[in-house]
Chains A and B, each alone.
Chain A
Amino acid sequence: MSLQALPDVGVDSQREVAVRVDGVSKVFGQGRSAILALHQVSLELNRGEFVCLVGASGSGKSTLLNLLAGLEQPSAGHIDSGGTRCALLFQDGALFPWLTAAGNVELALRLRGLARTERRRRALELLRLVRLDGFAQRRPHELSGGMRQRVALARALAQEADILLMDEPFGALDAITRDLLHDELETIWRERSLTVLFVTHNPREAVRLGDRVVVFTSRPGSVAAEIRVTLNRPRRTDSALVANVAAEISDRLRSEVRAHGLSHPTESLVSRGPRG
């Protein structure tokens, strides 16, 4: 069998921990209308590890990424990042439409204080890495969805962050494009020894990519299970082995959704937490 349950503490104690999330909770709003988005989430990311986060709607996945990226502060608990910096990749890429592909990458470099000629050189280098050096002068709306995500990936890499956070980056893409981008992301991850936290609602995608899959409960979000994926790489999304592991995660998610149908029949319809 290719999967095993993990104890709460990371098993790879010999590996360096990149970021440690310790008992983090996040509340939105105040008083009676307050919504608990995350409840006592503890999580470790090891350097060079590819971790996927799976959860149904309302599991606070995006909230956790925002906390890690420093866009919001936790209500309780703390995040020990040891000064690591995070780059965040959004679902729709969030490229700046007024800048060309190269301009988008160059802006990330500029905000890090690189000189102009150095920016030019590095931006082209990164676009070559995602095989888009021939499209450097195109604007985002002149590119396909998959190409935009590759530019966004190049821009995230330009930030030279220690951790790459990805928020359902391929959710809006067709299956063929997604498969190719999985291959590409895996290659870049391996070549550059990146640390990746990849959020998705798709169990197969999680098993396709992750060393470890963290399953989140919904509303409030908390860690329900951690599953170590030891299948050989590269994996195929449509292989039976990946499907087997994914099926267990799906069952876990569905029982999670069912539980909400029973316990808070009205609340789950009325109160909508923040997205993710």
Chain B
Amino acid sequence: MDRELAGLDALELASPPPRSRAVRVWSAVWPALGGALIALAAWQLVVLSGWRPDYLLPGPKVVFSRLLIDAGQPAFHEAVAITLQRALAGYGLAVAGGGLIGAVVARNRPLRRACGSLITGVQSMPSIAWFPLAILLFGLNETAIIFVVLLGAAPAVANGLITGIDNIPPVLLRCGRVMGARSIWLYRHVVLPASLPAFLGGLKQGWAFAWRSLMAGELLVVLGNRPSLGARLQFAREFSDAAGLLAAMVVILIIGMLVDGLFGLVEREVRSRWGLTGE
């Protein structure tokens, strides 16, 4: 019987695909690079067409050489650092708050009825609409910006977790309960890991909302002695510094893409571990 079982095991297991990590990373990177090249070419074409004068719409070459100069200046470093600090603070709070709300709401039916559509409603509300209130409540300061970033991202995070928990196969929950996992233990060992793939989707979406809200906030709430990427956009417009403006926009775009790529990597890793890739 042992040999029969071993033979059957050997027959039934297909050999895993021999793709190395380098190949996987490259196959994810090259389409992104191709897309960037296409975008740059389109930009250059618009500039060459003479639609707007050079001082209003400079080409990629001018903007990127300006970006190189900016990148060497301490003021620029400070601006990027402050913007990233705000993003991390607001997003971190949103993950903690949204995660907590999602976890509580998902498994509690009355609360779910009461708050489910409210969460979705707040999520679809443009976060810039919160700024006037935030400025009234907190004044023109950091707190107002963080508050709006938090409100922008938290509902997406909460909804991601709720969706994840909703889609857990019931048999896994029954199984966890039969194994003796109750309340917190069931959450820790079954509910949270089982909902992680969908939750990651919510985290990624939450980041996108946080980043957008932050840029809107930095344009509206420009603080003295607190340089930021949003403030650089605003000043560049006021001084008609088109190259500087576009350089700041490129940085905003690259940061957004880098974080998105990071989420993509984590998501892929989790999906393949969970056996969710369609192989």
Residue ranges of A at the interface with B (Cβ–Cβ < 8 Å): 66, 69-71, 86-88, 90, 92, 94, 96-99, 107-108, 110-112, 131-132, 135, 139-144, 146-147, 155, 159, 176-177, 180, 183-184, 187
Contact = CB atoms under 8 A, between A and B. Distances in A.
Interface of B: 1-2, 4-6, 8-9, 12-13, 16, 169, 171-172, 174-175, 177-181, 185, 189-190, 193-194, 196, 273-276
B190 A183 contact: no
A44 B43 CA distance: 80
Chain B interface secondary structure, helix, strand, loop or mixed? helix
Contact of B180 (A71, A155, A159, A183): A159
B178 A147 contact: no
Contacts of A98: 193-194, 196, 273-274
Contacts of A147: 9, 12-13
B199 to A, nearest CB: 12
A269 B179 CA distance: 36
A186 to B, nearest CB: 10
B198 to A, nearest CB: 13
Contact of A139 (B190, B196, B275): B275
A69 B175 CA distance: 10
Given A94-B175, A98-B274, A111 B8 contact: no
A165 to B, nearest CB: 9
A96 B273 CA distance: 11
Contacts of B190: 96
Contacts of B16: 142
Q: Which 8 A-B pairs have the closest CB atoms?
A: A141-B275, A144-B12, A94-B175, A88-B178, A111-B180, A94-B171, A98-B193, A97-B274
A155 B172 CA distance: 13
Contact of A94 (B172, B196, B274): B172
Given A96-B194, A97-B275, A98-B274, A146 B171 contact: no
Contacts of A97: 274-276
Nearest to A152: B175
A107 B179 contact: yes
B62 to A, nearest CB: 50
A155 B179 CA distance: 9
A139 B196 CA distance: 16
27 contacts: A66-B174, A70-B178, A87-B178, A90-B175, A92-B171, A94-B169, A96-B172, A96-B193, A96-B194, A97-B275, A98-B196, A98-B273, A99-B193, A111-B179, A111-B189, A135-B9, A140-B275, A142-B16, A142-B275, A143-B13, A144-B12, A144-B13, A146-B9, A177-B12, A180-B4, A184-B1, A187-B1
A180 B177 contact: no
Residue with the highest number of chain A CB atoms closer than 10 Å, among B8, B194, B276: B8
Given A96-B194, A143-B13, A146-B12, A71 B178 contact: yes
B189 A107 contact: yes
Nearest to B274: A97
Nearest to A181: B5
A88 B176 CA distance: 10
